[in-house]
Amino acid sequence: MSNKHTIMIIDDEKIVGDMAKLSLEQEGYEVETFLNAESALSRLKDRPFDLIVTDYKMKGIDGMELLKIVRQSYPTIKVIMITAFANLDTAIEALRGDVHDFFPKPVKIKELKASIRRALNEQ
Amino acid sequence: MKERLSGFLQSVLNTLRGRRSSPLPFERLFELFRQVLEGNNKAIELITDMGDTLGGDYLFDITYIRRVYAELSEAIRGSLVNFEALTLQRYSGLSEAFRLIDGQIGRMINDAGPSVAEPVIFYEDITWDMTSAVGGKNAHLAELKNNLKLSVPEAFVITMRAFEELIQQNDLAGRIEHIGKEDQCQDSESGELYERIMNAELPTDVDDAIGRAIERIKKRCGEHCFLSVRSSAEEEDGDYSFAGQFETVLNVPLERTAVTNAYKKVVASLFSPRSIAYQQQVGMAPGRLKMAVGCMVMVDSLSSGVVYTSPPSDDRNELLVTAAWGLGTAIVDGSVNADLFVIDKAEGLEIREEKIGTKESMFVALEEGGIVQTKTPEGMRTQPSLMPSQLRELAALSMQIELYYKKPQDVEWAVDKSRKMFILQARPLRMQNKIKVNPAFSDAMLHDKNILMRDRGTAVQRGIGTGRVFVLRHMDELSRFPKGAILVSKYDSSNFIRIMPYVSAILTDTGTPASHMASLCREFRVPTAVNTKDATAVLRHGQEVTVAIDDDGRITVYDGIIHTMPGAGYQNPAQMEDIYEYRKKRYILKHIVPLNLIDPLRDNFTVAGCKTLHDLLRFMHEKSVMELVEKAQYGGKMVARHAAVRLNLPIPAGIILIDIGGGLASSTAAHSISFDQVASEPLREIIQGMLYPGIWRSDAVALKANDFMSSIMRMPDIMTDNSALVGYNIAIVSREYVNLGIRFGYHFSTIDCYCSDTDRNNHIYFRFAGGATDITKRSRRIQLIAEILKAYGFSINTKGDIIICRISNIGKGTIMDILNQLGRLLSYTRQMDAMLHDDGAVRRYADKFLAADYAL
């Protein structure tokens, strides 16, 4: 399947990436996981991705900064933000930054999948 | 003097029965009871939430676990404070049990080190909470030795603490961390680490502790025994197999240098290229794993082997025994054609099938230490290596272990030369999920396909694999193994781990389904068959084939790649449980969710039986109920302190009510009230049952002469012997609660019930004792009550003429129905014992009662 959509998962906890990768690969997506935004950004230089699922709070470049960079350099990539620290302000900030969707953790995988489907069908 | 003596006796009796008058008023006790329930409820809700979230349907992280666990721990702490106030610290050990479980969970959440500070600990001193200190394998074995009293050889553990000290003192932490950070660890790096550990200096305290342990073993087993030195990594034998990944050093002499060298060798194997490859393949960051090492006295084995309490064929009624002469090494290596026995678990442990192997070689211990593979003496080769009686003994032991762990087990055993059976290891057996391969695929659809091999060998892992045959002649060739090929090899080997992610199927000429490699194949779901005799001869290197192993364990190899093969390329889909981080986080639930205390009327319902937070909650709930039941017996004394009112009923039940909150209609200020003014829902229901038309007999049932003698000879029960109470039956009530003690003539019943809208808070406790007739008839009445209450789902305990019945965690509607029936039962059985002239009457009257026919 060469027309697989490609998804990047960025979260500083390995478990989130591992679980998301397994669930999304079963849907037929091609998934790569990263423990920080720096390594993810460097990978973006090598190959294109259709969608990014990123944690909000990370050491180094955090989710919002990453969002800004992606918006500037890769405007077609959809971004879904997830965070352990859910409050209205972070949600508003993220949505203003043009994220496709925003989820507080724990995230129901089914809902994440539905959101990804919506995001990718829009393309 | 007489009065003082009787007062003393009474106090002794009260102490023996654990009954103490509480300094707290009953209202306060009841309030504490409700607070315990409230805390428990919050805790149960959090546990449910955690169970759901960690169930695989959510993405979660450690922050979530920390947050929810903090709330959970807080709720339980709160419940404990109220519980201790309620029970006057009677169960003081419970706080300690909580501290232990909480500590375990805290360490897991924070990824902190082990709880045991000693570098060496003997099996008999290992307790259930030490898994992280001694490793899974040692913890399991110690449990079998200490709790099940199984015959496990003498052993000590060099703990995780010793490992940490070794790493720290030799400045290895940095190197280890480094290999963990790399995506692909280079063989040269792990090789260097291996060397550094082999040359490392043992910390003095570790070295000394090992020396002392050796001396202790010498005293117990003699100077000339030997040790087997084996790994026990953190998660090893828990959810992960690690089969054959680490070094085992057998037959090590009882000398300090020999043991410490063996120890280092085992520890260093954590960093062998093979082990690093395994860790990476299962998604662990290499270098994070720690290792404890078990040193066990060697069994001078006549024969040894492995039991699977459920065989790979998935027939849960079968048990599979693999056995060979000498040491078990040959079996776990897969290097011998061993004996195979299939035992019927259901049919009295009959031997259903036996395949006696050729057992050409065997491993034996050398007198100077170490082991050697030798030729099996001719006469022994085709002799079964276990006798039928030994097989049955082994099967029974294995089933005992399976029952204890409630999971199929993989048990290593040995029989010594005096024919004594030992258990050397027990771990959960990886079971296969059923795969959806059409059972008809092999014949109807494939009739034109050329079959190269059929029904030869033993299935290890079902599935279908296609690809080119790679005949392995030498282990070095593994590095050239092409992705997607079919491995065909004379022997099996746990070295195959290096190709597990790329191999489509594995066929070996020899080997057993109990080998390390077989475990790995199941773990990685690689379709595999062993003991095919001649796969290496039948299949050509480079030939394209399709290997199909169906659900019944039938093995077929077709010529060519069959693209239309249903289920081709299909191995079981990966599951969340395959993710190391996921499993590790979920492991926390093992200390939270399982319930070991199931029946309050059984022996393990003790503080010591509390192994999880769920157990603690259950224990607190039950004992809080018991506390109320017990304190309510002092209702007589409460009459003086509380406004007590007489309940006027059309039957002479003589009930006095003590209201502790909302049990009576608010307008009540009179000394006596009618039924309408009772607001306690559970009491209303009981009384309605007692008043059921036709159930209260006012005529006395004629006592036979010997019954009459019994009634006058029997001393009234001390519990009810309170002259102030004679003539009264006391009910302590609130809107949702009743404790009713009813004495009719010579028998005494107690109903204690809490009934709210939250099902799990609700309970009914019912106790019935005594009677006027002889013990046979009284016992029959107890049987009658037991028969009836069984039908309502009560858990029941009877002893002589006392019956105690418990039911809990049920909805309000059901509680009300049962209370109504209990009310009827109280009226119905009032003089029932005098009617029970024969045993048959018990069933007869029980059936009549259940059919609502109350005529006597």
The 10s digit of each residue's pLDDT in B167-184 is 999 888 888 877 756 555
- Where is average pLDDT lowest: A46-55, B239-248, B313-322? B239-248
Tell me how many degrees the CA angle B657-B663-B669 measures, rounded to the nearest 5.
Answer: 65
CA distance B429 to B426: 9
Name, in order, each residue with C-beta under 8 angstroms of B473's C-beta and a sequence gap of 6 or more. Answer: none
Chain B nearest-CA residue for A14: B581
Which range of B71-80, B589-598, B768-777, B824-833 scores highest in mean pLDDT? It is: B71-80
Q: Which residue in A22, A84, A109 is closest to B61 by CB distance? A: A84
Residue contact B585–A15, C-beta within 8 A: yes
**A27 in contact with chain B, both atoms CB, cutoff 8 A:** no
Query: Which A residues, 94 through 113, put their C-beta within 8 Å of a C-beta on chain B?
Result: 105-110, 112
- How far off is chain B from A110, nearest CA to CA, in Å? 7
Residue contact B58–A109, C-beta within 8 A: yes
Query: Which of B59, B288, B575 should be substituted to probe chain A, the one whose Cβ sees the most A Cβ atoms within 10 Å?
Result: B59
> In this predicted structure, what is the pLDDT of residue B18?
45
What do you get for the CA distance between the two ends of chain A, in Å? 18
Query: Which of B61, B62, B575, B582 should be substituted to probe chain A, the one whose Cβ sees the most A Cβ atoms within 10 Å?
Result: B61
> In this predicted structure, what is the pLDDT of residue B423?
95
- Of residues B442 and B699, more confidently modeled: B699
Cβ-based contacts of B581 with chain A (< 8 Å): 13-15, 18
- How far off is chain B from A72, nearest CA to CA, in Å? 29
CA distance B549 to B529: 8
> In this predicted structure, what is the pLDDT of residue B723?
35
Chain B nearest-CA residue for A12: B61
- How far off is chain B from A42, nearest CA to CA, in Å? 16
Q: With cut-offs at 50, 70 and 90, classify the pLDDT of residue B635.
A: low
- How far off is chain B from A105, nearest CA to CA, in Å? 6
The percentage of chain B sitting over the pLDDT mark of 70, rounded to a whole number, equals: 82
> In this predicted structure, what is the pLDDT of residue B669?
63
Q: What is the pLDDT of residues B515-553, one digit of tens each?
A: 777 877 877 778 899 989 899 999 999 999 999 888 778
Residue among A80, A38, A76 at smallest CA distance from A55: A80
**A82 in contact with chain B, both atoms CB, cutoff 8 A:** yes
Residue among B467, B438, B449 at smallest CA distance from B561: B467
- The residue whose two tokens read 């068959």 is B529
B735-741: average pLDDT: 91
CA distance A68 to B44: 43
Q: Which residue in B59, B62, B285 is closest to A19 by CB distance? A: B59
DSSP H or E stretch at residue B352: strand B351-355
> In this predicted structure, what is the pLDDT of residue B709?
42
Q: With cut-offs at 50, 70 and 90, classify the pLDDT of residue A36.
A: very high
Q: With cut-offs at 50, 70 and 90, classify the pLDDT of residue B9.
A: very low
Do the beta carbons of residue B260 and residue B210 sit within 8 Å? yes
pLDDT at B601 over 50: yes
Cβ-based contacts of B583 with chain A (< 8 Å): none
Say how many CB pairs under 8 Å bridge A and B.
Answer: 58
pLDDT at B600 over 90: no
B204-214: average pLDDT: 95
- How far off is chain A from B117, nearest CA to CA, in Å? 30
Q: Which residue in A26, A84, A110 is closest to B57 by CB distance? A: A110
**A16 in contact with chain B, both atoms CB, cutoff 8 A:** yes
**A19 in contact with chain B, both atoms CB, cutoff 8 A:** yes
What mean pLDDT is reported for chain A?
88
- Where is average pLDDT lowest: A37-51, A64-78, B60-74, B647-661? B647-661
Query: Which of A10, A14, A111 should be substituted to probe chain B, the one whose Cβ sees the most B Cβ atoms within 10 Å?
Result: A14
- How far off is chain A from B473, nearest CA to CA, in Å? 36
B735-751: average pLDDT: 85
Q: What are phi and psi of A38, to 5 degrees?
A: -60, -50
Chain A nearest-CA residue for B54: A106
What does the block give as tokens for B187?
Answer: 């063989």
Q: What is the pLDDT of residues B300-357, one digit of tens each?
A: 899 999 998 886 655 667 888 999 999 888 777 777 788 989 998 877 788 888 889 8
Amino acid symbol at B783: Q
> In this predicted structure, what is the pLDDT of residue A6?
95
Chain B contacts to A (CB-CB under 8 A): 53, 56-64, 283, 285, 573-576, 578-582, 585
pLDDT at B159 over 80: yes
pLDDT at B79 over 90: yes
Q: With cut-offs at 50, 70 and 90, classify the pLDDT of residue B274.
A: confident
- How far off is chain A from B53, nearest CA to CA, in Å? 7
- Of residues B465 and B212, more confidently modeled: B212
- How far off is chain B from A71, nearest CA to CA, in Å? 25
B674-690: average pLDDT: 94
Which range of A69-83, B392-406, B690-704 scores highest in mean pLDDT? It is: A69-83
- Where is average pLDDT lowest: B462-471, B502-511, B663-672, B728-737? B663-672
Q: Which residue in A13, A106, A112 is closest to B53 by CB distance? A: A106
B616-626: average pLDDT: 89
pLDDT at B10 over 60: no
Residue among A85, A113, A117, A121 at smallest CA distance from A20: A113
Cβ-based contacts of A112 with chain B (< 8 Å): 59
What does the block give as tokens for B211?
Answer: 């020396």
What mean pLDDT is reported for chain B?
81
Name, in order, each residue with C-beta under 8 angstroms of B100's C-beta and a sequence gap of 6 or more. Answer: B129
B49-77: average pLDDT: 90
Measuring CA to CA, how many Å separate B72 from each of B57, B103, B112, B816, B829?
Answer: 21, 14, 20, 32, 46
Residue contact A14–B581, C-beta within 8 A: yes
pLDDT at B754 over 50: yes
- How far off is chain A from B285, nearest CA to CA, in Å? 10
Chain A nearest-CA residue for B58: A108
Cβ-based contacts of B62 with chain A (< 8 Å): 13, 15
Cβ-based contacts of B285 with chain A (< 8 Å): 14
Q: Which residue in A18, A26, A107 is closest to B582 by CB distance? A: A18
DSSP per-residue string spanning B322-334: EEEEB-THHHHHT
pLDDT at B620 over 90: yes
Do the beta carbons of residue B324 and residue B359 sit within 8 Å? yes
Q: Which residue in A18, A26, A106 is closest to B58 by CB distance? A: A106
> In this predicted structure, what is the pLDDT of residue B563?
67
Cβ-based contacts of A84 with chain B (< 8 Å): 61, 63-64
Q: Express the helix, strand and coil content of chain A in percent, nearest 5 each.
A: 45, 20, 35
Q: Which residue in B57, B574, B585 is closest to A108 by CB distance? A: B57
CA distance B756 to B813: 10
Q: Which residue in B61, B573, B582 is closest to A105 by CB distance? A: B61
ipTM for this model: 0.91
A92-116: average pLDDT: 87
Q: With cut-offs at 50, 70 and 90, classify the pLDDT of residue B642.
A: low
pLDDT at B370 over 80: yes
- How far off is chain B from A61, nearest CA to CA, in Å? 19
Chain B nearest-CA residue for A13: B61
A38-46: average pLDDT: 94
CA distance B835 to B825: 15
Residue contact A18–B285, C-beta within 8 A: no
Do the beta carbons of residue B296 and residue B262 sit within 8 Å? no
Residue among A86, A80, A58 at smallest CA distance from A67: A80
- How far off is chain A from B270, nearest CA to CA, in Å? 22
pLDDT at B237 over 70: no
Do the beta carbons of residue A25 and residue A31 sit within 8 Å? yes
Cβ-based contacts of A114 with chain B (< 8 Å): none
The percentage of chain B sitting over the pLDDT mark of 90, rounded to a whole number, equals: 31
pLDDT at B271 over 80: yes
